[in-house]
Amino acid sequence: MGTSDRMRRSVRRAALTVLKTAGAFHLVQGSDWRRQRLSILCYHGISLDDEHEWRPYLFICPQQLERRLEILGRGNYAVLPLGEGLQRLYRNDLPERSVVLTFDDGTYDFYSQAYPRLKQSGFPVTVYLTTYYSQLELPVFSLICSYMMWKARGHGKADLKELGVAQAVALDSAEARQRTVDQLVAWADGQDMSGVQKNDIAVRLAQLLNIDYRELVAKRILQLMNRREVQQLANGGVDFQLHTHRHRMPLNEEMFRKEIGENRERISQAAAGARSHFCYPSGAYRPEFLKWLAAEGIVSATTCDTGIATRQTNPLLLPRLVDTSGRSDLEFESWVNGIAHFLSSRKRARLAYVPD
């Protein structure tokens, strides 16, 4: 983080503390303005071990999730199921302080770390499940490669020529590690490798980096929930929705819809219920996707764009708040109670007012 980013963050924290003390948090969270809005929160993984240190944007530690749930409970937030929250948003009958909890991908840590805590809180939750690796029951290739290289970051240089990486990799450089992962993925895809073949590459990479792959597999690091686990949680009330079969969105309508169809079919094998909600893999979307989603009977789709949903929001382009390791409890509170959105929407309104 640069100096100006650090400074901006300190100023924001100080400003939020002042606003909270002055009662502005209460003012906004109890307002009609907030009651007409739905805050959809987005999580990915809850660390089994040290994943939040590897990818602080993708993973948070279990204690952070506990603190978030505590804030929602203590603040009497109305945590609603996704479908109900959206229906009530567009009908304009949301209760005060409405929030929806969503988790993307469906990693195993949701099963072992998030679910027990959510169950205790009594809050409903939606998991957008991607199904290819759920069936394969092996670590997600690109992620486990990246994680292992990060684990080996103190090991000097690695010679990965036999895996298609020409130059020795300086493991202490985050940039070099990322470049290498991209090369490994391109190399494996270039040979049309299956998931099992890619796993063999990951096994060899672990050997070359001196990492115990079997231990990572046994811990279920960077694996998805398997069918039995999905079934168990679905029976326990978790709502499973669509995220494509292979976590990708082809630019061709037929292929795109096939991704959704396969995803829908695999989820249905483990969980009963309707599947009409979607989350864009990696938060990326294009205008033509909206038509294709509607043709698949999808009624809502969430992005990773930061924001709070209003009745004017296109239901196939719903903004969320992606919660990350770097967000303080105070910042989190300012997002769910609406004040952060309130302040940023005022800014937008002023900009829109400038005549051209």
CB of 293 to Zn ion, least distance (A): 16
CB of 15 to Zn ion, least distance (A): 32
- Residue 127 or residue 308: which is nearer to Zn ion going by CB? 127
Report 281-300 residues binding Zn ion (CB under 5 A).
281
Strand pairing of 157-158 and 169-170? antiparallel
Rounded Cα distance, 64 and 62, in Å? 5
Describe the chain by its helix, strand, coil percentages, rounded to 5: 55, 15, 35
CB of 153 to Zn ion, least distance (A): 25
104 part of the interface to Zn ion, by CB under 5 A: yes
CB of 253 to Zn ion, least distance (A): 21
Size of the site for Zn ion (CB under 5 A): 3
Q: What is the token pair recorded at 273?
A: 């219920």
- Residue 104 or residue 323: which is nearer to Zn ion going by CB? 104
Rounded Cα distance, 4 and 71, in Å? 29
Helix, strand or coil, per DSSP, at residue 85: helix
105 part of the interface to Zn ion, by CB under 5 A: yes
Separation of CA 76 from chain center: 24
CB of 279 to Zn ion, least distance (A): 7
Rounded Cα distance, 33 and 92, in Å? 11
CB of 300 to Zn ion, least distance (A): 16
Report 6-45 residues binding Zn ion (CB under 5 A).
none
CB of 281 to Zn ion, least distance (A): 5
Burial (CB count within 10 angstroms: exposed 0-12, middle 13-18, buried 19+), residue 171? buried
Separation of CA 141 from chain center: 18
239 part of the interface to Zn ion, by CB under 5 A: no
- Residue 117 or residue 248: which is nearer to Zn ion going by CB? 248
Report 118-157 residues binding Zn ion (CB under 5 A).
none
Nearest one of 305, 322, 335 to 59, comparing CA atoms: 322
Stretch that binds Zn ion, among 24-32, 252-260, 280-288, 314-322 (CB under 5 A): 280-288
CB of 304 to Zn ion, least distance (A): 9
Stretch that binds Zn ion, among 100-108, 134-142, 228-236, 320-328 (CB under 5 A): 100-108
Stretch that binds Zn ion, among 4-12, 175-183, 275-283, 318-326 (CB under 5 A): 275-283
109 part of the interface to Zn ion, by CB under 5 A: no
- Residue 109 or residue 333: which is nearer to Zn ion going by CB? 109
- Residue 310 or residue 325: which is nearer to Zn ion going by CB? 325
C-alpha distances out from residue 270 to 90, 105, 263, Å: 30, 15, 11
CB of 241 to Zn ion, least distance (A): 12
259 part of the interface to Zn ion, by CB under 5 A: no
Report 150-209 residues binding Zn ion (CB under 5 A).
none
- The half-sphere exposure of 278 on its side-chain side, counting CA atoms within 13 A, is 33
Binding mask of the shown chain, residues 317 to 346, with x at each position contacting Zn ion by CB under 5 A: ------------------------------
Rounded Cα distance, 355 and 159, in Å? 59
Nearest one of 145, 149, 118 to 41, comparing CA atoms: 118
C-alpha distances out from residue 6 to 9, 12, 13, 52, 77, Å: 5, 10, 11, 20, 30
Stretch that binds Zn ion, among 45-53, 110-118, 279-287, 340-348 (CB under 5 A): 279-287
The label of the residue with tokens 């290739």 reads: 141
Interface residues with Zn ion (CB under 5 A) are: 104-105, 281
